[in-house]
Amino acid sequence: MEIDGIKISWLGHSSFVIRNSKLIYIDPYNLKEGVEKADLIFITHNHYDHCSIADLQKIVKDGTRIIMPADCQSKITKFSIPVKIDIIEPGKELSIGEIKVSAVHAYNINKPFHPKEEEGVGYIIKINGLLIYHAGDTDLIPEMNNLTGYNQPNKKFIALLPIGGRFTMNPEEAAESAKIIKPYLAIPMHYGSIVGTDDDAKEFLELCEENGVRAEILPKD
């Protein structure tokens, strides 16, 4: 998918790559061999399917910048080539050239897998007039009400939302979050491998449409 010259590709599960002047990965997992090297990598939390050392080794190069919460630091050993690591937490922002990044809360409210105190994050990545919200592993949390201000006429706000259930929101909860956020476009993630099915993604799509929210299922790249 390409929006305003920025290409967004789903690599399966919660993994995405964003291409503009830089190559950006989010939660790289189960990557193919020979994939392109990263300029920037965003990691939402320390679980193996989001902070995967084997996959990071495939995409780091001299000067790659990795942004991650503190609980990932113990898993990240030194790479054989120089990389830069930034630690982030909910409420913090970074500017990386033309890209601005805000970290937001991502946690469970009715399950034990992602406690709020561990400070896992979602990201809002701002590239020119495009805003991409990767929600991380989260339930439908009160802080999502704070995201409504990103839906502005002069900005396209894309929401990447987990829909697989068990560890995160299920399709109904994810559709409700999209109804609250009101993005330009909602895209389902966190399904198709460890948890969640294609049928869950289709259900999410139907529920979004019922709520007047544009949604699209991306093919796996």
The CATH number of residue 88's host domain is 3.60.15.10
How many structural domains is the chain composed of? Answer: 1
CA-nearest of 46, 44, 48 to 90 is: 44
Which residues form the domain of 174?
2-210
Structural domain includes residue 179: yes
Residue 73 is predicted with a pLDDT of 87
Structural domain includes residue 221: no
Structural domain includes residue 217: no
Structural domain includes residue 159: yes
Structural domain includes residue 160: yes
Global pTM value: 0.96
Task: State the amino acid at position 65 in one-letter form.
Answer: R
Residues of the chain with pLDDT under 50: none
Structural domain includes residue 219: no
Structural domain includes residue 174: yes
Residue 211 is predicted with a pLDDT of 96
Structural domain includes residue 215: no
Residue 79 is predicted with a pLDDT of 79
Residue 136 is predicted with a pLDDT of 98
Residue 213 is predicted with a pLDDT of 96
Residue 208 is predicted with a pLDDT of 98
